[in-house]
Amino acid sequence: MFIATVKSCCSRLSKLAIVGMSALVLTSVCLVLPAQADEAAKPVVIRFSHIVSGKAPKGQMALKFKELAEKRLPGQVVVKVYPRAMMYEDDQVVDAILKGDLEMAAPAVSKFTKYTSSLQVYDLPFLFDDMGAVDRFQHGPAGRGLLDSLAGHGIRGLGYLHNGMKQLSANQPLLQPADAAGLKFRIMSSDVLDAQFNVIGARAEKYPFGEVFNLLETKKIDGQENTWSNNYTTHFFRVQSHITETNHGVLDYMVITSTAFWDKLPTAMRSELEAALNEAIEWGNQKAAEENAQDRERIVASGETNVMTLTPSQRMQWVQAMRPVWKQFSGVIGQDLIDAALASNNKP
Ligand code: SIN
């Protein structure tokens, strides 16, 4: 009898204990779940800052990336695109990304001089014959390797994006190098670009992209170099009487983020973002080629400037006058990179 009473008592007690424990577990689950659910519901925000118009090839690619990333990761990722330097100038984005005030940007490769010398290979005049060569270089080991050239600074190169070949503009015809002597040109922040103008007796000054139109309009500078699409979308052609189709250099971008931000994303999310970015870049590169061709025609049709082409012998004079810059920078850039870039001019 006593044993039976004790047994039933124990059984009731253990039921109570189970109920009690379950309640405890439930309570803790309830305490933990709302926080986790909140966390899970919060999308990752990617702020993408750039300095051109939303209609320029880079601006369109950034919007394409937003569309594709948000489609691949619905509710998990939100991409906010800030055009026209409304958030940061190109020389501020690396610091902003490292501080966590920004997640992505795509400055011209010429603007990384203060972090690495190797990317200046892209600035050597008359090195790449055309954008096809740039593409081949970037798909080869040397070009791909350069995506890691900012790793020591905590920056990850996610991919390259094209704009196109650069043309020279001024308020006078520039048909041979001597025509540029004594003129002041705006350049991006690259020492190679500085040398490229110095070697033909011109001066070069580094200014942010957003200031170029005013500098040209007020004649604080005499000329500049840029692609057809930037000349058109930023209206430089309206304040320059002549543009010479030199195709002397390349304007290309590197899409960057911080290693710290990227590495803490879940692996599956990273691969979806990579896929979205690669698709957006391919689309953007196609767009850039089309827009540059169209914008050239729009500039010609505007009648607001004179578009001049070079004869083969005039072009050869520019090539020869600027070639010494290659030797001047082979030590800092690396002759192996220059050779790999040159090899990409050979079509397969
Ligand atoms: C850009 O296309 O991002 C601007 C390039 C420049 O600064 O000239």
The mean pLDDT value for 113-127 works out to 97
Rounded distance between C-alpha atoms, residue 268 and residue 263, angstroms:
12
Whether pLDDT at 32 is above 60: no
For 291-308, what is each residue's pLDDT tens digit?
A: 999 999 999 999 999 999
Q: Are strands 44-49 and 77-82 parallel, antiparallel or unpaired?
A: parallel
For 197-242, what is each residue's pLDDT tens digit?
A: 999 999 999 999 999 999 999 999 999 999 999 999 999 999 999 9
Which residue is closest in CA terms to ligand 1's atom 6? Answer: 209
Output the pLDDT for position 34: 42
For 85-118, what is each residue's pLDDT tens digit?
A: 999 999 999 999 999 999 999 999 999 999 999 9
pLDDT > 70: percent of the chain: 89
DSSP string, 156-168: EEEEEEEEEEEEE
Q: What is the pTM of this model?
A: 0.88
The mean pLDDT value for 130-139 works out to 98
Tokens of 180: 């540029």
Output the pLDDT for position 41: 72
The length of the chain is 348
Q: For a ligand 1 pocket test, name from 230, 240, 295 the mutation site with the most ligand atoms within 8 angstroms of its C-beta.
A: 230
| Side chain identity at residue 334, one-letter code | G
For 255-274, what is each residue's pLDDT tens digit?
A: 999 999 999 999 999 999 99
Question: Distance from the CA of 195 to the center of ligand 1, in angstroms?
Answer: 19
Question: Distance from the CA of 198 to the center of ligand 1, in angstroms?
Answer: 21
Question: Distance from the CA of 209 to the center of ligand 1, in angstroms?
Answer: 6
Among the CATH numbers 3.20.20.150, 3.20.20.70, 3.60.10.10, 3.40.190.170, which is that of 37-343?
3.40.190.170
| Side chain identity at residue 61, one-letter code | M
Rounded distance between C-alpha atoms, residue 82 and residue 236, angstroms:
22
Express the helix, strand and coil content of the chain in percent, nearest 5 each.
55, 20, 25
Which residue is closest in CA terms to ligand 1's atom 8? Answer: 209
Which residues' Cβ are closer than 6 Å to ligand 1? 51-52, 58, 108, 163, 188, 209, 226, 230, 251
DSSP string, 5-56: HHHHHHHHHHHHHHHHHHHHHHHHHHHHHHHHHHHHHSPEEEEEE-SS-TTS
For 177-192, what is each residue's pLDDT tens digit?
A: 999 999 999 999 999 9
